[in-house]
């Protein structure tokens, strides 16, 4: 049993008392990433029980079977970790992968800010952002709804950064190109892809930061009183949506009360997490104002904003992705 645990990288106790609920969604996908099947659809259909899914097998849909499964995972749980991959896009939706094998990758995961490091960031931000500005940014982030699918279209809450300039930095072997982009609020960003990006005709490229649960932090955000529709998007003519997210942790008997943190400090903690490096999705706007994801060969790791954050840098919105 220990040899099995070492081979599949699951703790011994988890195997002996296995329940699908014991593992996170991303971990389940990692374990399934090397799965092969005689019938292509069975790679997805064999996971219906593990994910407690309601999808029905429909043989003949081919790779769309995986798309259906991932679509339901996102819609039922608001789960965005399934979007952290690099490789080829699915024909089902450009934000989903063509193969489950991509989940064998270990996505970039920024280390949590805590203790003295968080205090340092908060102190520096307190000297740069007024309470009014910090709470406005905080409200935008906490007003974002959960990610969801509808008619194969992903409605993705994210922080969006517009690309203002784009050029080819160098050509590599196997037709891989390294691009350098000038991004509003982020400066210069380099990334590589096999696909060709037009440098001639105008196009709207966006780097999306969809890891909202990480930005919100362990508390999951607050429920705000008042009109959540009043979120300001700083001039962006994109679709807005509203929602709230409240997580109330259980209070164990005799637990020591958690120290009270005022909303200004909590807002600055959220902004500090927003300033950390992140794995970005590269999106291009289509003529119908929807977006598609541009698949890249490697993750696009954005250095982040640090503490050089202004309200103009933060564009919280919901993008509709085909």
pLDDT for 229 equals: 35
Q: What is the total residue count of the chain?
A: 322
Q: How confident is the model at residue 23, as a pLDDT?
A: 85
Q: What is the pLDDT of residue 228?
A: 35
Give SS3 for 284: strand
Residue 129, C-beta contacts closer than 8 angstroms, at least 6 positions apart: 137, 268, 271, 309
Would you state the pLDDT for residue 193?
Answer: 75
Of residues 114, 298, 112, the one with CA closest to residue 213: 112
DSSP helix/strand/coil, 102: helix
Rounded CA-CA distance 197/200 in Å is 9
Tracing tokens 């904003």 back to the chain, one arrives at 305
Read off the pLDDT of residues 292-320 as tens digits, 9 standing for 90 and up: 999 888 899 988 888 888 888 889 999 99
178 neighbors 294 (Cβ within 8 angstroms)? no
Locate 235 and state its tokens.
């001039």
Grouping H, G, I as helix, E, B as strand and the rest as coil, residue 301 is: strand
Residues in the chain predicted with pLDDT less than 50, given as ranges, are: 223-253
pLDDT of residue 289: 87
How far, in Å, CA of 38 to CA of 115, rounded? 51
Query: Can you spell out the DSSP letters for 73-86?
Result: HHHHH---GGG---
Q: How far apart are CA 48 and CA 148, in angstroms?
A: 19
pLDDT of residue 96: 97
> Phi/psi at 63 (nearest 5 deg)?
-65, -15
pLDDT at position 171? 66
Q: What's the pLDDT score for residue 194?
A: 63
- Extract the tokens encoding 287: 């003529």
pLDDT tens digit sequence for 258-285: 556 789 999 999 999 999 999 999 999 9
What are 20-28's contacts with CB under 8 Å, separation 24+?
Answer: 20/49, 20/50, 20/51, 20/52, 24/81, 25/51, 25/73, 25/77, 25/79, 25/81, 25/82, 26/81, 26/82, 26/84, 26/103, 26/107
CB 95 within 8 A of CB 281: yes
- The pTM assigned to this predicted structure is 0.82
Which helix (H) or strand (E) covers residue 270, if one does?
A: helix 263-274
């Amino acid at each position: 049993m220990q040899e099995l645990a070492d081979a599949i990288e699951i703790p011994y106790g988890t195997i002996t008392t296995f329940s699908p609920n014991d593992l996170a969604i991303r971990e389940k996908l990692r374990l399934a990433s090397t799965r092969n099947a005689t019938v292509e659809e069975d790679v997805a259909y064999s996971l219906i029980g593990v994910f407690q899914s309601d999808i029905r097998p429909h043989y003949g849909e081919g790779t769309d079977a995986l798309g259906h499964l991932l679509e339901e995972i996102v819609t039922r749980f608001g789960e965005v970790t399934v979007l952290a991959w690099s490789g080829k896009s699915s024909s089902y939706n450009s934000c989903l992968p063509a193969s489950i094998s991509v989940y064998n990758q270990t996505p970039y995961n920024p280390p949590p800010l805590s203790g003295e490091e968080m205090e340092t960031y908060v102190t520096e931000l307190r000297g740069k952002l007024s309470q009014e500005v910090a709470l406005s940014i905080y409200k935008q982030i906490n007003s974002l709804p959960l990610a969801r699918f509808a008619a194969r279209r992903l409605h993705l809450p994210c922080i969006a950064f517009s690309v203002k300039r784009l050029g080819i930095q160098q050509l590599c072997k196997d037709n891989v190109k390294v691009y350098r982009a000038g991004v509003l609020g982020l400066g210069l960003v380099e990334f590589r892809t096999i696909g060709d990006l037009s440098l001639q005709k105008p196009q709207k490229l966006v780097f999306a930061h969809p890891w909202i649960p990480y930005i919100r932090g362990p508390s999951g955000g607050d429920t705000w009183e008042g009109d959540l529709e009043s979120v300001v998007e700083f001039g962006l003519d994109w679709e807005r949506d509203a929602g709230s997210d409240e997580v109330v942790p259980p209070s164990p008997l005799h637990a020591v009360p958690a120290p009270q943190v005022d909303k200004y400090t909590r807002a600055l903690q959220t902004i500090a997490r927003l300033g950390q490096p992140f794995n970005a999705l590269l999106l291009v706007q289509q003529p119908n104002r929807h977006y598609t994801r541009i698949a890249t060969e490697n993750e696009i790791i954005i250095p982040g904003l640090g503490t050089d954050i202004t309200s103009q840098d933060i564009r919280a919105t919901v993008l509709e992705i085909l």
